[in-house]
Structure 1
């Protein structure tokens, strides 16, 4: 396990923010730990956060990745994917991600994916345009330069010329039809569809119990990757 999780509420002035994230590291736990400590601070310190949160999130992601690359001597050569959710006053949900951890919302029983799975095969053209390549050798999983099985990530200085850290950002308004939000690393999504995950926990009132149910189910289905899960109920 190289995952780190954030799930907290905080008050900023008259506003309430829900901050949720899963950072799935590779090669070490150092960079996901760094993200846990710094990413949200960098986002919230952007002066336009309250006016244009989507732009602030993109800037915060960019600044954090630059910091990680500049500190590569101390932080090492590894990297991390990320999926983050910021809930503003219980009404506006802003999702961002790099990599293949995923955010799924449930409205009226229907699962809706809010993040983008950044797979090397789907971003092959942009990787090649940067001078890299996508290969299934060694192994049977597509990898950037034959090494990394995601097309976007924080860190990974040795691959950065061919690897993006630009997040996809989605805004969702919370209404009376919104039931729950799931954030999870790919160890869950490799063995469960979005709708299966939603169906499994729709009737579970306690968010912690719902998250544990999903992680236990992923283990039961023989998932062999990191499994972290956050459930937010509305």
Structure 2
């Protein structure tokens, strides 16, 4: 048996090698010697440019939050633990290939929520969901944080819905900040939606087969659009801006209160507006603008201007202690599930009276779940159960559902 020698040879040790070692073994050991490591604080500037500082804010969300973020934000994942004690923050690279998120935080300041988004029986997934807790901190006294929730239902392709997911909350934030807190919600939302449409139309002009998933030539991208239902939750109000046939409802004391009105071509006021603009509503598998689009308002759809507009309808609702939850969803849910039924299902889940729901719905079509994100088990179960109910009732569209728990009066 070969003799094994052990030991650490200092760099300054000039003593001869042990007799058991060959010359090659000595050289190999010297290459493997431990070297001293010197830690140097990086300079404040590098090549004359000040190094950016990492900012960690003291406000954290109550749970795991998966948001849409920029490429820079997608480089980090923040994990916050030890609730009730000083938070421990672990920064780690995101390994998931998903385009969604990353910011996992904890705090009692943010409402609990959950959402589910499935492709359903459609060939492609064209829905998008954006959730941004504490996306804006108002400076006024006792104004608290503002929380943003949005559901976008694309048609023609997914890229307009994706652009809304990436940008609309930023535009809303800019408009509210520029408004200096005057609470002119209708004006801020209207400007945000119009700016969003201008960005989409400008972006469509640059779309080519190489950059657009719909593989359309540039002129054909004018036929792509998206609905948008957005809710901004403040400590005392719920502001909803709706453009299209996605919908928001408030569950209060077990009853459903609509916070938006579907903008369909056969709605009397919408029908009059379209006809006064010189357009027509043709019944082809339901009422459609020019026999094509099944909604009268949307972001995009430049080829149907001026009949299809992006002006949102805004409602402002005061919060009460009887509020249970807020539900936002695409028409894939509302086509087959009533407001009252959705409210009942969500309320049952929030009270813990519904059995736990697995993240993968039973009998899910081949295009299975696209996203299931939760910060609260009750909200997660409610969103998933509503999605499963829509599929069980043979919804043929993409289905996206967001459930926000309002019982903590956040």
More strand by share: 1
The structure richer in helix per residue is: 1
Deviation at 1:17, TM superposition (A): 1.7
- Per-residue deviation, 1:182: 0.5
SS in 2 for 1:228: strand
Is 1:184 matched with 2:329? yes
Q: Secondary structure at the match of 1:84?
A: strand
CA contact (8 A) 1:190 1:223 kept: yes
Q: Tell me, yes or no, if structure 1 residue 82 matches structure 2 residue 228.
A: yes
Which position in structure 2 is the counterpart of 1:136?
Answer: 283
Partner of 2:386: 214
Q: Which residue of 1 aligns with 2:31?
A: none
- Within 5 Å, give how 1:1-234 maps onto structure 2: 1-10=125-134, 12-13=136-137, 15-46=144-175, 47-48=178-179, 50-51=181-182, 52-74=184-206, 76-77=221-222, 78-88=224-234, 90-122=235-267, 123-137=270-284, 140-205=285-350, 206-234=378-406
Q: CA deviation at 1:24?
A: 0.2
Number of aligned residue pairs: 231
Give CA-to-partner distance per residue, 1:106-146, whole Å, 9 cap, x none. 11111010001000111111111111110013xx2111011
How far has the Cα of 1:55 moved from its partner? 1.6
What are the Cα deviations for residues 80-104 of structure 1, in whole angstroms up to 9, with x where unaligned? 001000012x321100111100000
Residues 184-217 of structure 1 show CA distances to partners (whole Å, capped at 9, x for unaligned) of 0001111111001101121212111110110011
User: Greater CA deviation, 10-19 or 147-156?
Assistant: 10-19
Q: Decide whether the 8 Å contact of 1:31 with 1:155 is kept in 2.
A: yes
Per-residue deviation, 1:65 = 1.2
Question: Aligned equivalents of 1:54 and 1:93: distance in 2?
Answer: 13
Cα deviation digits, residues 48-69 of structure 1 (max 9, x gap) = 1621233211111111112222
Give the TM-score taking structure 1 as reference length: 0.94
Write the deviation string for residues 162-184 of structure 1: whole angstroms up to 9, x where unpaired.
11111000011111010111000
What TM-score, normalized by structure 2, do the two folds share? 0.55
Partner of 2:3: none
Structure of larger gyration radius: 2
Specify every segment of 5 or more residues in structure 2 that has no aligned partner in the other structure, as ranges.
1-124, 139-143, 208-220, 351-377
Contact 2:137 2:146 survives alignment (8 Å): no
Pair 49,35 (structure 1): closer, same or farther in 2 beyond 3 Å: farther
For structure 1, the residue ranges without an aligned partner over 5 or more in a row are none
CA contact (8 A) 2:240 2:314 kept: yes
